[in-house]
Amino acid sequence: MTSIPTTLGPKRSDELGLILPHEHIFVDLRTLDTPGFAQADVEQVVQLMTPEIEKAQAVGVTAIVECSAVGVGRRVDIIRAVSEATQLPVVVPTGVYREPWVPDWVHNASESYLAEWMLSELQGEIEDSGVQAGWIKLSAGDEGLTDVETKILRAAATAGRESNAVIGSHTIQGQVVRDQLDIIEAIGYAPERFIWIHTQAEPEFELHLEMAQRGAWLEYDWIGNQDEDDLLKIQQLLDAGYGNQLLLSQDRGWYDPALPGGGVPQPYTYLVEKFLPKLRAAGIEEATIHQLTHTNPFRAFAR
Ligand SMILES: [Zn+2]
């Protein structure tokens, strides 16, 4: 029986419904040496984000995947506090973001050390938080993988192979995903356990099809920004038979420590309230919508 590790313990498919596979509760996109980087009062984050999560729960969201990795303000203590206050299970990553958000210790670490570190968070817990990492988040430079990004990816493939955890990569260019799949396959990690985060940012639709053909998950995760374009491509992917490899999310939220009081979060409800009705209006069947919003995200993150 597979389950997804969350802030509220492992969850089976019968305990979950609609899952948002790419959102944020807390992110800091400033450089790591900025004074106050990733700092916030935990209670203030809980106060700001609780109403947003309650609104999401009211429209049927049963879990969200937090995509803030090491480098952009991963704060598992904060995520756990928000999760416990709302009783929403949150899936938290191990892994490291791209340059220039890669901390010195990661630059200095060996590939095998990084793999051991990821595996310890995937099989044990993150930083004595009591929370097990549910997946591996990483990224790649827009012009191609740098040496340190390649080291992180190779370490992730090893840790993922040992744990069956899914790897998700923020990769803006399809050409770079091609390289990433080559690298992980050479280590013996299946493309079927790789999520191409921000697939929609690649204008060349042929590359979406190519990576789907190789087995990877495609994630359209800026729902709400380009609905007509997304809708067209979703229909084309469904027609091509890739409906079981597609994930939808919004990349929204979040408490931003760079802004006074954390700023004004964007609601998590757009997909359910506005976009799913557009899919229905386009003639996409309810069973397919269920697959895209319930079955697929569970299968992607479960192990
Ligand atoms: Zn994101």
CB contact at 8 A, 72 and 27: yes
CB contact at 8 A, 126 and 95: no
Q: What CA–CA distance (Å, rounded) separates 173 from 88?
A: 33
CA of 96 to the centre of ligand 1 (A): 13
CA of 67 to the centre of ligand 1 (A): 6
pLDDT per residue of the chain (303 residues) written in tens, 0 to 9:
899 999 999 999 999 999 999 999 999 999 999 999 999 999 999 999 999 999 999 999 999 999 999 999 999 999 999 999 999 999 999 999 999 999 999 999 999 999 999 999 999 999 999 999 999 999 999 999 999 999 999 999 999 999 999 999 999 999 999 999 999 999 999 999 999 999 999 999 999 999 999 999 999 999 999 999 999 999 999 999 999 999 999 999 999 999 999 999 999 999 999 999 999 999 999 999 999 999 999 999 999
Residue type, 110: S
Nearest C-alpha neighbor of 152 from the set 219, 186, 195, 102: 102
Residue type, 157: A
For residue 16, how many other CB atoms are within 10 A of its CB?
19
CA of 27 to the centre of ligand 1 (A): 9
CA of 301 to the centre of ligand 1 (A): 16
For residue 60, how many other CB atoms are within 10 A of its CB?
13
CA of 196 to the centre of ligand 1 (A): 12
Neighbours of ion ligand 1 (CB under 5 A): 67, 251
